[in-house]
Amino acid sequence: MEVFSMALIAIFLGLLFSTFRILKEYERGVIFMLGRFHKVKGPGLIMVIPIIQQMEKVSLRTAVWDIPSQDLITRDNVSVKVNAVLYFRVTDPQRAIINVEDFMEATGQLAQTTLRSVLGQHELDELLSERERMNADIQDILDQQTDDWGIKVSNVEIKHVDIDESMIRAIAQQAEAERSRRAKVIHAAGEFEASQKLVEAAQQLATQPESIQLRYLQTLTEIAGEQNSTIVFPLPMNLLEALNRVTSNKPENK
């Protein structure tokens, strides 16, 4: 009799302790009554009626999912391996438990297929230089598709893009050729600008002959300041013009 009484007391205490649950601030309990959804409880001390009610506990904290390396082919037919990290959290515990069997696994698998699908639509140059736009595109698609599961995808970050060694050498050669092309374009632009300035200077000197004399005197000053052993004096332009007029007006010998 005493043994039976002790057993009843143990069963009663077990049911009593299983009735009360403590949920932390970031946890919620999805309560089912006889298999049907009842309500979402928590945080704090809650009561779950044994046998009649069952509880599924859900964390509301942001989860971090490491997307493993995915083999994909870009739009310009380059084979690469890409991995990323996914940040998401549960915003609706009811839908996260009822609408999908395992929301963590489902979100991770969806992230892998979306990563391959989105990045495969872009060329390698875009994949390397426009990661922020790629991250935003993937995040938007995942956020829309997981909304029915009560999941909010807050961020997606591409971590590594692994390229074949031969492709790395080809990219380096392309970058070097691009730098050489830009250098030539800049040099040609500089030459063109300098020629324009020379033409403008010549036109200005042609309209004001006095400026030629000033330039002539400035040139003499610069030569004298260089301490040269031999100084060559250029003839003034007006003297050459005078000699040219005298020569043109001299009568021819018969």
Tens digit of pLDDT for each residue in 98-128?
Answer: 999 999 999 999 999 999 999 999 988 888 8
List, for residues 36-52, the tens digit of each pLDDT value: 999 999 899 999 988 89
- Alpha carbons 228 and 76: distance in angstroms, whole number: 65
229-241 per-position pLDDT tens digit: 565 655 555 555 6
How far is Cα 75 from Cα 113, in angstroms, rounded to an integer? 16
Structure confidence by residue, pLDDT tens digits, 168-193: 676 667 777 878 888 888 988 888 88
Q: Which CATH number is associated with domain 63-163?
A: 3.30.479.30
β-partners of residue 88 are 63, 153
Overall pTM > 0.75: no
Summarize the confidence of residues 202-217 as an average pLDDT.
68
Report which of 54, 56, 55, 61 is spatially closest to residue 25, judged by C-alpha positions: 61
